[in-house]
Structure 1
């Protein structure tokens, strides 16, 4: 399987076991929702950003991965500020920012195969109880990790093709084929998961 997000390195973050990184990510996600102090959240944001830098990712590559999130965060921040005040908006945005940065640090410093294997091991006790199919969930994770950058690649291809036709300023000319391709790819992912489940 390709590793479209992984950046090869030999720093302590790369050497840290995938299971430990996933466990830390889950624990951080839970802990963040109990933190209301802006200074603590700002410190967590700085730490998470430092971890992303530690992976060795370039500024251009980082921006390509997060720029689509900027508009989402802007909308969340705006509505949170309007309905609950700017302090609450700042808390929400910092929480999301920390989680995104931590998730990026994990995916950039960990091979997809290692993440999938760690996920399958973590779910094995639940599989023994009959609650989940660990292999099926792990496969879904693997396909999703490959699927996300694939959508971005298709977006770039469609945008270049539409620009060549003089349709770059028409949102529907970009959105419709991207949605169609994404739905087709999602169907392929679902079929792969179903096939694994039937084995």
Structure 2
């Protein structure tokens, strides 16, 4: 496998999402657990629901050496903020995702026989968890977040929150074809004595 193929996916050895697997070794069955919190501001659906400024993702993962690479299993969790798609009120939620990802060794059979975007790869014995965790969190987030499943939304006439306005909230509407007559003759059609 050429070095060029791996160049675009090369992680930084110092990033908080990156784990060095050299101490794990390549003996199948050896494993090591990692727990860490990593900065993750903006992870999610930007403008809809995402990790807030200063937010972190908590990682609890097990790296296990297997014949074809390093298998990462575990969990990532974080708090997210956004706004309700119906009533536009701010909302917060917790998201937890299960992770299972194989990072193929360079020149392994898996590396040689799969397309670049089909499997993650080790680069210089480093595992970069960020793309996998980001993708998993985005897929777990609701595309249409709601403050509650039965949120009634906003009044189309006044923009008020229907949950706060009450069940008898309404607006008098007049058929525009009759509005011209009322303007011309004035008065209140509900109370003929005022005409």
Q: TM-score range by the shorter chain?
A: under 0.3
Q: Radius of gyration: which is bigger?
A: 2
Taking structure 1 as the reference length, the TM-score comes to 0.23
Taking structure 2 as the reference length, the TM-score comes to 0.23
Greater per-residue helix proportion: 1
Greater per-residue strand proportion: 2
